[in-house]
Chains A and B, each alone.
Chain A
Amino acid sequence: MLGTRLSLALGKGEFSEKVKSVLTGAGFMIIDSALSGSEALRKLRISPPDIAIVNYELPDMNGLELAIVLAEEEICRTILLVPRNQKENCEQAARSFDILVLEKPLPRQVLINAVENMQKYETKLKKLEDELEALKENMRSRIIIDRAKGIIMGLGVNENTAYTAMRRVSMDRRVPLKEIAQMILDGTLSWKEIKGKE
Chain B
Amino acid sequence: MSRYSKEDLLKLVKENDVKFIRLQFTDVFGTLKNVAIMSDSLERVLDNGCMFDGSSIDGFVRIEESDMYLQPDMDTFEIFPWRPQQNRVARIICDVYTTDGVPFKGCPRFILKKVLKEAAAMGYTFNVGPECEFFLFHTDEEGKPTTITHDDGSYFDLAPIDRGEDARRDICIALEEMGFNIEASHHEVARGQHEIDFKYEEALKTADNVMTFKLVVKAVAQRHGLYATFMPKPIFGINGSGMHCNQSLSKGKKNAFYDPNDKLQLSAEAYSFIAGMMVHIKSFSAITNPLVNSYKRLVPGYEAPCYIAWSAKNRSPLIRVPAASGEATRIEVRNPDPACNPYLAFALMLAAGLDGIKKGMKPVPSVDRNIFHMDEEARKQEGVDSMPASLYDAILEMQKNPLVKHVLGDHIYDTYIEAKMKEWDQFRIAVHPWELEKYLGSF
Seen from chain A, the residues whose Cβ lies within 8 Å of a Cβ on chain B are 12, 35-43, 45-46, 58-61, 68-69, 73, 96
Contact = CB atoms under 8 A, between A and B. Distances in A.
Instruction: Please list the 6 inter-chain residue pairs (A to B) with the smallest Cβ-Cβ separation, ordered nearest first.
Output: A60-B143, A41-B225, A42-B225, A38-B225, A38-B139, A35-B141
A38 B139 CA distance: 7
Nearest to A35: B141
A42 B84 CA distance: 21
Contacts of A37: 143, 225
A42 B141 contact: no
A58 B141 CA distance: 9
Interface string B66-99: 0000000000000000001010000000000000
Tell me if B's interface is mostly helix, strand, loop or mixed.
Answer: loop
A60 B143 CA distance: 5
A36 B224 contact: no
Given A40-B225, A46-B163, A60-B142, 10 more contacts: A36-B141, A38-B138, A42-B138, A43-B225, A45-B224, A45-B225, A58-B143, A59-B141, A69-B223, A73-B223
Contacts of A43: 225
B226 A38 contact: yes
A68 B85 CA distance: 12
A39 B139 contact: yes
Nearest to B150: A42
A191 to B, nearest CB: 49
B191 to A, nearest CB: 16
Contacts of B227: 38
A36 B139 contact: yes
5 contacts: A40-B225, A41-B224, A41-B225, A42-B224, A60-B144
A35 B150 CA distance: 17
Tell me if A's interface is mostly helix, strand, loop or mixed.
Answer: helix
Contacts of A36: 139-143
B415 interface: no
B222 interface: yes
Interface string B169-186: 000000000000000000
Given A38-B225, A39-B225, A45-B224, A61 B166 contact: no
Interface in B138-172: 138-144, 150, 163, 166
Contacts of B142: 36, 59-60
A59 B144 CA distance: 10
Of the candidates B150, B166, B225, the one having the most CB atoms from chain A within 10 angstroms of its own CB is B225
B143 A59 contact: yes
Interface string B234-261: 0000000000000000000000000000
Contacts of A96: 86
Of the candidates B86, B224, B227, the one having the most CB atoms from chain A within 10 angstroms of its own CB is B224
A46 B159 CA distance: 12
A69 B187 CA distance: 25
Nearest to A40: B225
Nearest to A41: B225
Contacts of B166: 45
